[in-house]
Amino acid sequence: MFVKPRIIIVLLFSITISYSQDYRNVDEIKDDWQEHTTFQKHELLSFCDFLISDGHYERALLSLFQYLYKFPSDTLEVPILYYIARSYDLSGNPILANRYYDEVINLTDQNNRVHQAAYYRKLLIQYYKGNYDMVLEETENETDPYLIILRGYIYLNNLEWVAARQAFLSADERFKHRHYSELIAPIMQTIDNAAEVPMKNKWQTLAASVFPGGGRAYLQEWGNAGGALASFFLVSSLASASTDLNQSGNLSLTDNRNELIPLGAGYQLDSNDLPNNPSAYGLPDNVQLSSKNKYLIYTPIALSISIYLGTILKTYQDVDSANQLLFRNHIRRAFEKTPLDSFMDFAEPNLVQN
């Protein structure tokens, strides 16, 4: 009678013992969950780093914002914000990039590596936008070699050779590294060679302008030279064209026929006998209307002279611009060989620890 209840009790006791062996306390569960969370964070950070490295900035932004949502107030919040700004920067959205760089700057100390990187990036955005005066004002009296290099490139863009030379020499002294010296050397050579750039002389430009389009050709503006030459000869051809006005057929209604053809020859119509010979009326056998208007030549002549003199004056005024263009072509080769970004190897935060 009591066999079955005993069997049930034994079974329940056995089950309790077996389950008690797998029992885990709260701390163990927390540790396992933390390990799982850490793995998720590492995987997401690795994915973000991969997307940024491969240039998939829009997808990287989605993953970076996802990280901030999943792990609020995380220790990597500031580096994540920095790379959000960097992704906006690289994707061509400087407004949002500046907004997140400012957030990084406000959340960090001035000596923090991420703070400095965000500050450099903000100034680089202004440099590439052409806000040179703003960058020079912001970096005045700076001793940071990265900022001095930035000032040097601005001086080069402004063709301020002395200031540019001093800036690059100062940066070289502060870097104190062979790598930067090798980058600066060709730029210094470009500055020294600026004096050898062949300048265009204004008087020689005037002499060349005697021939239509010659001044533009002297300034190596071949398109403008061809246009000036074609315009001058086109208008000149109009001036040299025939100014005769010939008319055939009916007479013009605007002309006075009494002045063109005599209506009478001094005879009186006293009888019905009219002369049969047309010459008796004083009328010519053939009427040819022709006139030569000398005034028609004045307009094209005046126009051609205006084009000729205007081209000479404009060419004379553009000599300084042409010389400036020669200098810009000179420094452009230096920029192509040693772009500004080749210096900007400052420390940036890491998403994934190596």
Domain boundary among 113, 129, 145: 129
Q: What is the pLDDT averaged over residues 157-164? A: 90
CB 204 within 8 A of CB 218: yes
65 has a pLDDT exceeding 90:
yes
Is residue 226, in this structure, part of any structural domain at all? yes
CB 121 within 8 A of CB 130: no
Least confident of 8-22, 99-113, 252-266, 339-353: 252-266
Is residue 277, in this structure, part of any structural domain at all? no
Segment (H or E) for 35: helix 26-53
Alpha-helical (H) ranges within 221-318 are 222-239, 257-260, 298-317
pLDDT digits (tens, 9 = 90+) for 96-135: 999 999 999 999 998 899 999 999 999 999 999 999 999 9
Structural domain harbouring 90: 41-129
Pair of tokens at residue 295: 């005034």
Helices (H) and strands (E) in the chain, counts: 16, 2
Q: What pLDDT, on a 0 to 100 scale, did the predictor assign at position 287?
A: 55
Q: Tell me, what CATH number does 62's domain have?
A: 1.25.40.10
Residues 121 and 227 in one domain: no
Residues 209 and 304 in one domain: yes
Least confident of 62-76, 97-111, 242-256, 283-297: 242-256
Is residue 111, in this structure, part of any structural domain at all? yes
84 has a pLDDT exceeding 60:
yes
Count: domains in the chain: 2
Which residue type, as a one-letter code, is found at position 136? L
184 has a pLDDT exceeding 60:
yes
Pair of tokens at residue 186: 């060709």
Least confident of 7-11, 68-72, 254-258, 275-279: 254-258
pLDDT digits (tens, 9 = 90+) for 187-213: 998 888 876 766 665 555 555 565 666
pTM: 0.64
Choose from 255-259, 330-334, 339-343 the range with maximum mean pLDDT: 339-343
